[in-house]
Amino acid sequence: MRTVYICKSLISLSLKNSSHLNKTPISLFPLLFFSSSLETPIAVANYLNDRHKFSAETASKVSSVVKYVKRPEETDSILSFLQESGFSDTHLQRVIKNAPQVLSANLERSIKPKFKFFQDLGFSSSDVVEIVSNDPRILTRSVDNRLGPSILTLKSVFGSNMDDVSRFVKRYGRILSFDLAKTMIPNIEFIMKSCGMSWTQITRYVYNCPRLFLFKPTQIREYVKRVDEMGINRKSKMFLPAIRAIRTMSIENWELKLEVFKSLGFSEDDILSVFRRAPLVFALSERKIRAKTQLLLSTGKCDISYVVNHPFLLTLSVENRLKPRLRVLEVLESRNLLLKNPSLATVFWFTDDKFFEKYVLPYSDEVGELFVVNKV
């Protein structure tokens, strides 16, 4: 309506001035173009709620970062393009919630090139949806300065095997936000040299635990120094897990965990032994360490030395493994159904299927329902 009004006013003005030939005529076209391109900004919450039926929770979160949608029709085009590319309503809300900048992006210059980049690498449409949904901020990254170099780096790590790169990116899409040439490559080279690992070993570890290789090289060297001080041999298979554990803790956190172990009855030698055998125990919270240790000791089937010799027990879930299996054993023992008392380490090491086959299936009338209920 506003455009029509402006047009009528300009035409009227032009007719009034048409007799004054000595004056420069007014050109309507620039003004008409300018007026037709104007859009009234809309509050983000109203835009997402009313225009696109986003959830109130998503609209509220986005509006705390972005107040207005300045060009609603352009933003409509972005959302339409994402829908046409296979994004569901849930995907869309995840993208906008985690990367509100997408609302003000340029579809042709910023959004579409990211999709073309992945498609040119051989990723399917569903792959791209998965990658972007897992890390929507990918849509805000530069293809030339970040995404492209990151893919090249991953190719150098995985031997240009695009199947491996594809699986890796789908699983850890956020890694493309890092400057891998300055973090991953120097860290891989340092750890290989320090630990005497083969390229095959290191790439397997990169695939399963990439975050370890994303720290600044100076930080990795500091973690290695701290692990050395714990007495773990660099060629031990526990060396990299020890680095993983150390990087989750500040010196203060480490001291707190030492105090928890000491309060439970562990000596300093016991604590170091646990760390050397199962360093990831120290990545647990103080609360979990205390709860799991107290549960194991309360059974009367093991003492501190048993836990020290089988520290993997502290890495198991209380609700999904420790308690259900202890309850099954308790019932079987109370009814004298076991010929001998099994080792707790063995019982807890079994997979769920193996435990079911050995301790539940033969006694299904007594513990079948109990194990299923607790397992769930």
Q: Could you give the CA distance from residue 266 to residue 269 in angstroms, rounded to a whole number? A: 8
Q: Which of 65-74, 316-325, 333-342, 359-368 is least confident?
A: 359-368
CA distance 243 to 232: 10
Q: What percent of the chain has pLDDT over 70?
A: 87
Q: Quick one: how far is CA 351 from the chain centroid?
A: 26
- Which pLDDT score, from 0 to 100, does residue 235 have? 86
Is residue 37 over pLDDT 70? no
Residue 368 lies inside a defined structural domain of this protein:
yes
Residue 361 reports pLDDT greater than 50: yes
Q: What percent of the chain has pLDDT over 90?
A: 59
Please state the domain count of the chain.
Answer: 2
Q: Domain of residue 376: give its range.
A: 316-376
d(CA 206, CA 190): 13
Q: Nearest-CA neighbor of 248 among 287, 208, 279?
A: 279
Does residue 21 surpass a pLDDT of 60? Answer: no
- Residue 216: inside a domain: no
Residue 342 falls inside a structural domain: yes
Question: Mean of the per-residue pLDDT values for the chain?
Answer: 85
335-338 long-range Cβ contacts below 8 angstroms, 24+ apart: 335/366, 337/363, 337/366
Q: pLDDT value at position 370?
A: 65
Cβ burial of 184 (10 Å; 0-12, 13-18, 19+) is: buried
User: 98 lies in a domain?
Assistant: no
For residues 261 and 283, the answer to whether their CB atoms sit within 8 Å is no
What are 298-313's pLDDT values in tens digits?
998 899 999 999 999 9
Mean pLDDT over 337-356 rounds to 90
What digits encode the pLDDT tens for the residues 169-183? 988 988 998 899 999
Report the pLDDT averaged over residues 346-358. 92
Give ∠ CA 79-85-86 in degrees, rounded to 5.
100
> Could you tell me if residue 370 is inside a domain?
yes
How does DSSP assign 85-129, residue by residue?
TT--HHHHHHHHHH-GGGGGS-IIIIIHHHHHHHHHTT--HHHHH
Predicted confidence (pLDDT) at residue 290 exceeds the cutoff of 90: yes
Q: What's the average model confidence in pLDDT over 202-222?
A: 91
Which residue is associated with the tokens 């089937």?
301
Smallest Cα–Cα separation from 165: which of 103, 123, 202?
123
* Cβ 184 vs Cβ 194: under 8 Å: no
- In Å, how far are 141, 276, 294 from 106, measured between CA atoms? 13, 53, 57
Phi and psi angles of residue 353, each rounded to the nearest 5 degrees, phi first: -65, -45
Band of pLDDT at residue 22, cut at 50, 70 and 90: very low
pTM above 0.75, yes or no: no
Return the structure tokens found at 59: 């609209």
Beta-bridged to residue 326, according to DSSP, are none
Q: Which helix (H) or strand (E) holds 267?
A: none
In the structure, what pLDDT confidence band is assigned to residue 317 with cuts at 50, 70 and 90?
very high
pLDDT at 372: 56
Give residue 224's pLDDT: 92
* Residue ranges of E strands in the chain: 42-43, 68-69
In a domain, 20, yes or no: yes
Is 332 part of any domain? Answer: yes
110 phi and psi angles, rounded to 5 deg: -115, -45
Cα 147 → chain centroid: 18
For the residues of 216-238, what is the DSSP string, one character each? -HHHHHHHHHHHHHTT--TTSTT
Q: Are 36 and 50 in contact (CB under 8 A)?
A: no
Q: Sign of the CA dihedral 84, 87, 92, 98?
A: negative
Per-residue pLDDT reduced to its tens digit, 130-139 = 999 989 999 9
In a domain, 70, yes or no: no
Report pLDDT for 100. Answer: 94
Residue 32 has pLDDT above 50, yes or no: no
Kindly tell me if the per-residue pLDDT of 275 is higher than 90. yes
pLDDT in tens, 140-165: 999 999 999 999 999 999 887 788 88
**Token pair of 103, please?**
């609302």
CB-CB neighbours of 61 under 10 Å: 17
Which value, to the nearest 10 degrees, does the dihedral of the CA atoms of residues 130, 132, 136, 139 take?
A: 180
